Amino acid sequence: MGGKDRAALTEPMYYVLMSFLHQEMCGIEITEFVERKTDGRVRLGPGTLYTLLGKFQEEKLIEETQTEGRKRTYRLTEKGREAFLEELERLRACLLDGEEEL
Protein backbone atom coordinates (compact mmCIF):
# COMPACT_ATOMS: atom_id res chain seq x y z
CA MET A 1 0.00 0.00 0.00
CA GLY A 2 2.27 2.81 -1.12
CA GLY A 3 6.03 2.92 -1.19
CA LYS A 4 8.31 0.08 -2.18
CA ASP A 5 6.90 -2.54 0.17
CA ARG A 6 3.23 -2.13 -0.66
CA ALA A 7 0.92 -1.74 -3.61
CA ALA A 8 -0.56 1.71 -4.25
CA LEU A 9 -3.68 2.59 -2.30
CA THR A 10 -6.95 2.82 -4.16
CA GLU A 11 -8.74 6.14 -3.93
CA PRO A 12 -11.26 4.88 -1.32
CA MET A 13 -8.40 3.37 0.73
CA TYR A 14 -6.51 6.66 0.64
CA TYR A 15 -9.49 8.69 1.83
CA VAL A 16 -10.43 6.21 4.55
CA LEU A 17 -6.91 6.43 6.00
CA MET A 18 -7.04 10.23 5.63
CA SER A 19 -10.24 10.31 7.68
CA PHE A 20 -8.32 9.13 10.75
CA LEU A 21 -5.49 11.69 10.63
CA HIS A 22 -7.01 13.98 13.26
CA GLN A 23 -9.48 11.87 15.24
CA GLU A 24 -11.02 8.49 15.90
CA MET A 25 -14.09 7.73 13.80
CA CYS A 26 -16.90 5.24 13.35
CA GLY A 27 -18.19 3.99 9.99
CA ILE A 28 -20.81 6.68 9.38
CA GLU A 29 -18.33 9.42 10.31
CA ILE A 30 -15.80 7.98 7.86
CA THR A 31 -18.40 7.83 5.09
CA GLU A 32 -19.47 11.42 5.74
CA PHE A 33 -15.86 12.65 5.88
CA VAL A 34 -14.98 11.02 2.54
CA GLU A 35 -18.09 12.30 0.81
CA ARG A 36 -17.56 15.82 2.18
CA LYS A 37 -13.81 15.86 1.45
CA THR A 38 -14.27 14.70 -2.15
CA ASP A 39 -17.42 16.76 -2.74
CA GLY A 40 -19.31 13.52 -3.43
CA ARG A 41 -16.81 12.22 -6.00
CA VAL A 42 -15.88 9.23 -3.81
CA ARG A 43 -18.77 7.39 -2.18
CA LEU A 44 -18.31 4.47 0.14
CA GLY A 45 -21.00 1.83 0.33
CA PRO A 46 -21.14 -0.26 3.51
CA GLY A 47 -19.62 -3.30 1.78
CA THR A 48 -16.60 -1.34 0.56
CA LEU A 49 -16.12 0.52 3.83
CA TYR A 50 -16.30 -2.49 6.12
CA THR A 51 -14.13 -4.58 3.80
CA LEU A 52 -11.48 -1.84 3.93
CA LEU A 53 -11.77 -1.47 7.71
CA GLY A 54 -11.31 -5.23 8.14
CA LYS A 55 -8.31 -5.24 5.80
CA PHE A 56 -6.77 -2.23 7.55
CA GLN A 57 -7.24 -3.87 10.95
CA GLU A 58 -5.67 -7.08 9.67
CA GLU A 59 -2.68 -5.12 8.36
CA LYS A 60 -2.52 -3.15 11.65
CA LEU A 61 -3.06 0.19 9.88
CA ILE A 62 -6.00 0.97 12.18
CA GLU A 63 -7.20 -0.37 15.50
CA GLU A 64 -10.60 -0.54 17.12
CA THR A 65 -10.87 1.71 20.17
CA GLN A 66 -14.50 1.41 21.25
CA THR A 67 -17.62 -0.65 20.67
CA GLU A 68 -21.14 0.52 21.57
CA GLY A 69 -23.66 -2.03 20.35
CA ARG A 70 -23.01 -2.23 16.60
CA LYS A 71 -21.08 1.07 16.52
CA ARG A 72 -17.33 0.56 16.34
CA THR A 73 -14.78 3.34 16.56
CA TYR A 74 -11.29 3.12 15.05
CA ARG A 75 -8.05 5.07 15.07
CA LEU A 76 -4.99 5.20 12.85
CA THR A 77 -1.87 3.37 14.03
CA GLU A 78 1.66 4.61 13.40
CA LYS A 79 1.94 2.01 10.64
CA GLY A 80 -1.27 3.40 9.11
CA ARG A 81 0.07 6.97 9.24
CA GLU A 82 3.25 5.81 7.49
CA ALA A 83 1.21 4.05 4.77
CA PHE A 84 -0.82 7.23 4.21
CA LEU A 85 2.30 9.41 4.03
CA GLU A 86 4.00 6.99 1.60
CA GLU A 87 0.96 7.15 -0.66
CA LEU A 88 0.85 10.95 -0.42
CA GLU A 89 4.48 11.09 -1.53
CA ARG A 90 3.79 8.67 -4.42
CA LEU A 91 0.86 10.79 -5.59
CA ARG A 92 2.95 13.98 -5.41
CA ALA A 93 5.59 12.31 -7.60
CA CYS A 94 2.88 11.31 -10.10
CA LEU A 95 1.62 14.89 -10.25
CA LEU A 96 5.11 16.26 -10.81
CA ASP A 97 5.72 13.75 -13.61
CA GLY A 98 2.47 14.76 -15.29
CA GLU A 99 3.16 18.47 -14.94
CA GLU A 100 6.64 18.01 -16.42
CA GLU A 101 5.14 16.32 -19.47
CA LEU A 102 2.67 19.16 -20.04
CA distance 27 to 23: 13
74: in domain: yes
Classify residue 6: in a domain, yes or no: no
Determine, yes or no, domain membership for 40: yes
Residue 2 pLDDT > 80, yes or no?
Answer: no
- Is 5 within a domain? no
pLDDT per residue as tens digits for the range 44-90? 999 999 999 999 999 999 999 999 999 999 999 999 999 999 999 99
Residue 2, domain member (yes or no): no
Is residue 42 in a domain? yes
Q: The CATH number of the domain where 65 resides is what? A: 1.10.10.10
Q: How many domains does the chain have?
A: 1
Beta-carbon-side half-sphere exposure of residue 8 (alpha carbons within 13 Å): 9
pTM across the whole model: 0.90
